Structures are given as structure tokens and as C-alpha cells.
Amino acid sequence: MKGFYSRKLHSLLGVIPLGFFILEHMITNFSAVEGGSQGFKDSVALLNSLPLVIVLEIFGIWLPLLYHGVYGMYIAFQAKPNNTRFKNERNLRYLLQRITGVLVFAFVIWHLYETRLQVALGNVTHEELGGVMHDIVMNPVFFILYLIGVISAAFHFSNGLWSFLVSWGITVGPRAQRVSSYICMTMFAIVAVLFTWSLFAFRGVEFQAEGTALLETIRVFVG
């Protein structure tokens, strides 16, 4: 496909559907803060009760993520950053957009492997995911890696939205681009805080019940 159209598609998919998905994911996770273990379970159940959920997943998440991610890696490595010579905030955000893209790429693969893939393989059920998350975030190294992952994703999406608005000619002049910078960076702060908050919530003991407790039982049986 010609560069122009493939790049436009990359840009579009970053916001629709991936941008919507990340916001949805943020809200679902936040139910762990608001409603604890049961609240999170209810949210997951609500999502899974959507009609044609697998079709929504394939066309709303997997395929767009695959396209945007792979093409994004290609774009990221085509850059020749010059931030030491040109020190301005937009150039820094240009670099961070690429670095966070690469980090999110790695993070998403790992996170999917631990969660959705294990569900698909039948090793865990959707109801047990809260417990799986609890086990992950109780490990201090994994917790830090998850923090880096969610903050990177929050930045990549928010700054990406700013750049999307320029790429489609929606914010044209310097003032429009400055105002949208403020809005998008505020959004970064909010999305990052909410995701982080949820990660802390997953450390709560009530999530232990499913995850660790399950493992403990297995250990007892094996031992």
C-alpha cells in the first residue's frame, strides 16, 4: 500500500479503535479501586456479556494493535533523533512518542501472554484474572515494569492524540496546537494516575483469594 494511505490508517487506528480501547481498559481496571475484587469481576463479566465479544476483540483490538504496533515499530526505527542539538519540548515529545511506542510493544506482548493468552489456553478463567494480576503486581520487579508499561501507554496515547489532530489537519495553527497540547497532557496525567491507582488496588489482599490462594491449594496438593 502506498505510504500515504498506510500511514493514515496507522494514525486512525491509534485513536479509533485503540484509543477507545485504552480508555475502556482504564475504566474497567478502575472498578478494582471502586468495587474491589467483586467490582472488577463484575466489570469483566459485563464486557464478556457483550454480543459478538470475540468479533469485537478481533476487529476492535487484535488486528488494529497488530497493524499499528508493527508499522509503528517500523516508523520508530526510521527516526534519527537529534534532541541534543534541538532542545525543545515538541522534539522531546517526538522522541518519547517513539520510545513509549517501543516500550508499549514489549509490554503489550508480555501482558497479553500473562492474561488473555492464559484465558485462551484454558489455564485461567476470566473470573480469576484479578488474582493473576494480584500475583504479578506483588512481585516488586514486575510491579515496577507494569508501572512503566501503563505510564508509557498513557503517554503514547495522549501525545498520539495530539499528533493525530495535527496529522489530520484538525489543529492547524500554533494556538490550536498549544491548546490541544494542554488538553492532551492533562489527559496523560489523568490516564496515568487512574491506571497506576488500579495497579495499587490489585495489590490489595482481597485479590489474593483467587490467585495466590489458588496457587497455594495447588501447592498443597502437589506437596
Partner 1 sequence: MATADTKLTAKKVKFVVTRQDDPKSASYTEEFELDYRPGMNVISALMEIQRNPVNLKGENTSAVCWESNCLEEVCGACSMTINGKPRQACAALIDNLEQPIRVEPMRTFPVVRDLVIDRSRMFSALKRVKAWIPIDGTYDLGPGPRMAEKKRQWAYELSKCMTCGVCLEACPNVNEKTDFMGPAAISQVRLFNAHPTGEMNAEERLEALMEEGGIEGCGNSQNCVRACPKGIPLTTSIAEMNKATSKHMFKRWLGV
Instruction: List residues near partner 1 by CB under 8 A.
Output: 2-5, 7-8, 75, 77-82, 85-86, 88, 90-91, 94-95, 97, 163, 166-174, 177
Three-state DSSP at 73 gives: helix
Q: Of 193-212, which residues contact ligand HEM (CB under 6 A)?
A: none
- Please state, as a whole number, how many other Cβ atoms lie within 10 Å of the Cβ of residue 163: 19
Distance CA 139, CA 147 (A): 12
SS3 state at 116: helix
Q: Which of 56, 61, 75, 185 binds ligand HEM (CB under 6 A)?
A: 75
CA–CA separation, 107 vs 111, rounded Å? 6
Q: Which is nearer to partner 1, 46 or 170 (CB)?
A: 170
Taking CB under 6 A as the rule, does residue 47 contact ligand HEM? no
Strand spans (E) along 21-165: none
Site string for ligand HEM, 129-168 (x = CB under 6 A): ---------------------------xx--xx-xx--x-
In order of 53, 69, 99, 113, the CA distances from 103 in angstroms are 28, 11, 6, 16
| Per-residue contact flags (x/-) with ligand HEM for residues 91 to 110, judged by CB under 6 A | ------xx--xx-xx--x--
> Among partner 1, ligand HEM, none, what does residue 177 contact (CB within 5–8 Å per kind)?
partner 1
Name the residue nearer to ligand HEM (CB basis): 69 or 211: 69
Residue count (the chain): 223
Residues 2-31 that bind ligand HEM (CB under 6 A): 11, 14-15, 18-19, 22
Closest to ligand HEM by CB, 103 or 132: 103
Count of residues near ligand HEM by CB under 6 A:
27
Q: Is residue 108 classed exposed, middle or buried when 0-12, 13-18 and 19+ CB atoms within 10 A define those classes?
A: middle
Number of H helices, E strands in the chain: 11, 0
Show the cell assigned to 20.
477507545
- Phi, psi torsion values for 16, nearest 5 degrees: -115, 115
What is the x/- site pattern for ligand HEM, positions 108-127, by CB under 6 A? x-------------------
- State the residues that interact with ligand HEM by CB under 6 A: 11, 14-15, 18-19, 22, 65, 68-69, 72-73, 75-76, 97-98, 101-102, 104-105, 108, 156-157, 160-161, 163-164, 167
